Chains A and B, each alone.
Chain A
Amino acid sequence: MRVKAIWQYGKVYIILLIGLIILSVIGWRAMGQQSFVRTALSGLTLGALYFMVAAGLTIIFGLMDVLNFAHGAMFMIGAYAGWQFYTNPTFLFGLAPLVLALVAGIVVTPLIQPLAMRWAVPARWQRTLRAVVIVVAVILIIVALLGLDVRGLAKTAMVATMVDPLAEATPQEPLAVFWKRPLLFFLAGLLIALAQARPGDRTQVIRSGAAPRAIVALVGFVLLTVAATLTRESGAISVLKMNADARFFLSLAAGALIGAGIGAAIEISLVRPLYVRPTFLILATMGLSFVLRELTQLLWDPLPYAMSRPPLFSQPGKAASILEWFSKHTLTVEIMGVTFPSYRLFIIALGLAMFILLMLVMNYSRLGMTIRAGVQDRDMVEALGINVRRVFTLVFALGAGLAALGGIGAAPFAPVEPVMGDRFQMQGFITVVIGGMGSYSGAAIGALLLGLARAFGDFLALKFSLTPAVSEASTVIIMALVLLLRPAGLFGKKE
C-alpha cells in the first residue's frame, strides 16, 4: 500500500532518475570520464539558463493562461541592462529620472478618480476622451525626448575598455537643459492617470484607503525623481568607482528589478485589457517582443557584445578545487579531472539558487499558496476575497524579473545581442511543454533534460562530424516523446 502510494506520486521522478543513471553509465563508459564530465557540466549550465526563462513562463501560463511571447525579450533586456550597469551605467542613470517622473504622475489615479468620475462626460464620448488624453500624453513624451541624445547615452558602454572605469564616465546633459524633460514626463503621467480614472464613468467604486496610499506614493516618487535627476552623473561615477565584483552583483539586482518593473508595466498596460481575448494576447506579446528587439537594435546596433567577467571569475590560473577557487577567484576550476570555467559554475549555482528560492516562495509563502490555488481555480480564489488582478501583476513581474536575472547571468557567457531572447524563448517554451504547463518543478526537470540533451547532442555531432542541427533537433524529439507518453507534460496539471 505504502509502496504503491510512493510509486503513484514519484513514478515520473523514479523513471527519470533510473533513465539518467543508465544513460550516465553508458556515457561515462563510451566517452571517457573527461569528455563525459565536461559535457555534463555544459549541459547543466545550459539547463540552468533554460530554467530561468522557463520558470516565469510556466508560472505565468499556469496562473493566467497567458502564453507570454515577450518573455524572451525580458531575458534579452535583462542581459542588456546588466551589461550596461556593469560596464557603464550612464544610460540607465540618464533615463531613470524620466521613468520615475512618469510613474510619479500615474500613481495619482486614485486621487483624481472621485473628481473625474463625477465629471459630466456623455457615455459615448468617454472612450474618445480617454483616447485623446492618452495621445496627448504620448505627444508630451515625444516632446520631452526631443534633442535628448538617447543613442549617445546608450553607446557609452560600447566603447568601454574597462582599464580605467572612471575614464568611461560620460557627461550628462546639464541640469539647466534637462529639467524640462522629467517635468514633461510627470505631466504625461498625470494625463495617463486621468485616462485611468475614466472621466464620467460613474459605475466606478472608490476604494477607501486608496487616496492616502496614493499620496504617499506620489511624494515618494517625486522625491526619487528629484534625487535621480540630481545624481545622473555622480551616481554613475560612484557605481563605476565601486569594487567590480560588488558592481557585478549589484547589476544582477538592478537588471532583475528593471525586468520586474517592465514586466509589471506590460501586464498593466498591454496584457490586462486582453485577458478576455487570449488570441490577441499571443499576437500582442509577440508584437511587443519584435518592438523591444528592434528598439534594442536601434539603440545598440544588431552587433553582439561580450560583457567582461567580473574579477571574481577571471583571475589567471586554475583552481585545483572549488574550495580553492573561493580564495583564488580563478578563471577555471578543476572538477573531476576536467578544467571548467568558473563562471559557468556560477550560472549553475544561480539556477539552483533560483530554484530553491522559488520553491520556498511557492510552498511556504502566502503568495505561493495563492498562486498554487489560483493555478487550480482562479474564480474560487477571487470569491474568497483575493485580488487576483494584483496577484497577476505580481506574478508577471516576478516571471519577468527571473527571466531578466537569467539574462544578466548569461551576459558574461553568451554574446549580448538583440536576438538572444528569441533563442532562449524557444527553448523556454519547449522546457515548459516537457515539464508540464504551470509546474515550476516540471520546468526545472525539463530544463535539466533539455540542457543535457543539447550538450550531449553537440558532443555527438562533433564526434561523428554531423551537423549541429542534430542537437537542436534532439530537444524537439524529447518534447514529442514526452507529449506522446504524457500529453500534459511530465508534471502537468492542466491540459
Chain B
Amino acid sequence: MAPEAEEREIILEARNLRKEFGGLVAVDDVSIQIRARTLHSIIGPNGAGKTTLFNLLSGTMPPTRGSVFFKGRDITHLPPHRIAHLGLGRTFQITNIFPNLTVLENVRLGAQAMGRHNLRLLTHSDKYTQYLDQAEQVIAQVGLRGREHMLAANLPHGDKRKLELGIMLAGNFEVLLLDEPTAGMSSEQVPALLEIIHNILTSGNRTIVLVEHRMDMVMSISDFITVMHQGRVLAEGTPREIASNELVQSAYLGALYGDLTAQAEK
C-alpha cells in the first residue's frame, strides 16, 4: 500500500448515486471518491449493488439520480464509448472476451478502439503496426506469449481472465474498473492474476477499482476499501480500518464468509 495514498487527487467521484429497477433500489445514495494511482476495492455480498455501481460509473446505465465526475468533468450523461475515450475502462463480471477472435485480435481491438484512427474502419486491421506492437507488448505483460494465434474460446479459464486484463491494458485506460476478475478461478490461479494486477498498478500511472469477493486478497493489496450492503455504503477506509470496524465485523464479515463457504461447498 502506498503510504501517501490519502493525499492523492480524486480522479473519479460518484455523488449521491441512486439506481432503481422498478421498485428495487439497487444503488441507494452512494457517494464514493477514488484517488488517483490507488487500488480501491469494493466488497459486498451478492446483490449488494457493486456491478450496478460499475454500470453507473461507466455509463452502461443511466442513474436514476446523482452524478459521476471523472477528472473533474461531469460524465453522468455521456455514452459508454465516450467515457472510455476519456480514459475510464471497465470489465464485466461474466462475458469479458471475444471467444471467436484470436488472442492477438482481442488485444488489438482494445488498442485500436482507443486509437485515433477510429474512423477509418475499412483499412486492413494489420496496417496500423503501432497497435500490433502495443498488442504484442501487452500479451507479454499478462503472460500469454506464445498463444497469440489461439482462439480465445480455447484458452483455459484462468488465461481468459488474463486476456481480459490484456484487452483493457491495451486500451491505455487511466482508470480501470475490474468486476470480480478472479471469479471462477481456482485458488492456485489467483496469486498469478493478483501479481499481474499489482504490476499494472505499479508499472503505469493507473488507478484500479476492484470488485471482489475474497476478503483476504482485498486486504493485502488495496489502498482503500468500500464495503457495500443492500445498495448502501456500509463502511469505508483503509484495510486496517475496515478490519477493525466493528459494524463490518459483526454485521457483515461473518455473513460474507458464510456466503463464501456456502459457495465453495457447491
Residue ranges of A at the interface with B (Cβ–Cβ < 8 Å): 203-205, 207, 361, 364-370, 372-373, 376-377, 379-389, 391, 394, 493
Contacts and interface: CB of A to CB of B under 8 A. Distances in A.
Contacts of A203: 76-77
A391 B121 CA distance: 9
A470 to B, nearest CB: 38
B125 A369 contact: yes
A365 B100 contact: no
A377 B110 contact: no
A385 to B, nearest CB: 3
B126 A364 contact: yes
Contacts of A373: 98, 101, 106, 109
B89 interface: yes
Residue among A366, A382, A383, A391 having the largest count of chain B Cβ atoms under 10 Å: A383
A386 B118 contact: yes
A385 B96 contact: no
Nearest to B170: A384
B60 A383 contact: yes
Interface stretch (B2-10, B16-24, B38-46, B78-86): B78-86
Contacts of A382: 60, 79-81, 84
A435 to B, nearest CB: 15
A493 B171 CA distance: 27
A383 B121 contact: no
Interface of B: 58, 60, 76-82, 84-85, 89-92, 95-101, 105-106, 108-110, 112-114, 117-118, 120-126, 167, 171
A202 B171 CA distance: 30
Contacts of A379: 60, 80, 92
B113 A367 contact: no
State the 5 A-B residue pairs at the shortest beta-carbon distance, nearest first: A385-B84, A367-B121, A384-B113, A203-B77, A385-B113
Contacts of B112: 366, 369
22 contacts: A205-B78, A364-B125, A364-B126, A365-B121, A365-B124, A370-B121, A373-B109, A376-B99, A379-B60, A379-B92, A380-B92, A380-B95, A381-B109, A382-B80, A383-B84, A384-B113, A384-B167, A384-B171, A385-B114, A385-B118, A385-B171, A386-B113
A205 B81 CA distance: 13
Nearest to A391: B121
Contacts of B85: 385
Given A376-B98, A493-B100, A367 B84 contact: no
A383 B114 CA distance: 10
Contacts of B77: 203-205
B9 to A, nearest CB: 23
Contact of B95 (A377, A387, A394, A493): A377
A182 B113 CA distance: 39
B96 A380 contact: yes
Residue among A207, A364, A373, A381 having the largest count of chain B Cβ atoms under 10 Å: A373
Given A384-B114, A385-B81, A387-B81, A367 B122 contact: yes
B89 to A, nearest CB: 7
A135 B172 CA distance: 46
B111 to A, nearest CB: 9
B256 to A, nearest CB: 27
A368 B125 contact: yes
A372 B125 CA distance: 13
A110 to B, nearest CB: 14
Contacts of A387: 79, 81-82, 118
A271 B99 CA distance: 28
Contacts of B99: 376
B84 A377 contact: no
B52 to A, nearest CB: 14
Residue among B79, B91, B108 having the largest count of chain A Cβ atoms under 10 Å: B79
B92 A384 contact: no
A364 B84 contact: no
Nearest to A360: B124
Contacts of B171: 384-385
A203 B113 CA distance: 26
Nearest to A207: B82
A169 to B, nearest CB: 37
Contacts of A377: 92, 95-98
A306 to B, nearest CB: 36
